[in-house]
């Protein structure tokens, strides 16, 4: 993938800002702690109550599936594979490994859900920072700008 480093420097929100906001579950556009509905753990706001940026890009299910698969990828690589290796080399018993794998397969993605959701958003705007309204991008409700 090509990163356009020669993009005009008049962008208000730089890539490093987008990464910093993504890692801290903040709105990539205004930096507000607005990604998740107040008082809930997993309910993602449709758009930012502060600046109006759409977090759910239209009815884009691929966006959600992307964050979900990212989730399971991280779970598998960082949790299930090391667990399988520990069991294989008999550091832990197979029974313990299976129990931990079952807990982890459901628990880890739930724990990661919030962050992966934010990381996915960060990933998107990292490559397309000029899509941010703060950078002059036109974000329209319910429209897929990739079409």
Per CB under 5 A, residues contacting Zn ion are 27, 29-30, 32, 48, 50-51, 53
Q: Considering the complex, state which of residue 26 and residue 97 has its C-beta at the smaller distance from Zn ion.
A: 26
Cα distance between residue 116 and residue 2, in whole Å: 23
**Nearest distance from residue 62's CB to Zn ion, in Å?**
22
Q: Helices 81-88 & 94-127, crossing angle to 10 degrees?
A: 150
Q: Considering the complex, state which of residue 30 and residue 86 has its C-beta at the smaller distance from Zn ion.
A: 30
**Nearest distance from residue 51's CB to Zn ion, in Å?**
3
Q: Where are the alpha helices (DSSP H) in the chain?
A: 15-23, 61-75, 81-88, 94-127
**Nearest distance from residue 107's CB to Zn ion, in Å?**
30
């Amino acid at each position: 993938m090509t990163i356009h480093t020669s993009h005009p420097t008049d962008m208000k929100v730089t890539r490093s800002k987008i990464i910093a906001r993504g890692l801290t579950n903040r709105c990539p556009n205004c930096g507000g702690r607005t990604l998740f509905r107040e008082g809930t753990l997993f309910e993602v706001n449709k758009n930012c109550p502060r600046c109006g940026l759409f977090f759910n890009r239209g009815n884009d299910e691929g966006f959600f599936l992307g964050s979900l698969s990212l989730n399971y990828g991280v779970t598998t690589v960082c949790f299930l594979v090391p667990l399988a290796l520990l069991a294989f080399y008999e550091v832990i018993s197979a029974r313990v490994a299976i129990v931990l794998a079952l807990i982890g397969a459901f628990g880890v993605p739930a724990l990661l859900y919030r962050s992966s959701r934010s990381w996915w958003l960060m990933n998107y705007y990292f490559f397309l920072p000029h899509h941010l309204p703060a950078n002059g991008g036109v974000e329209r409700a319910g429209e897929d700008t990739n079409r």
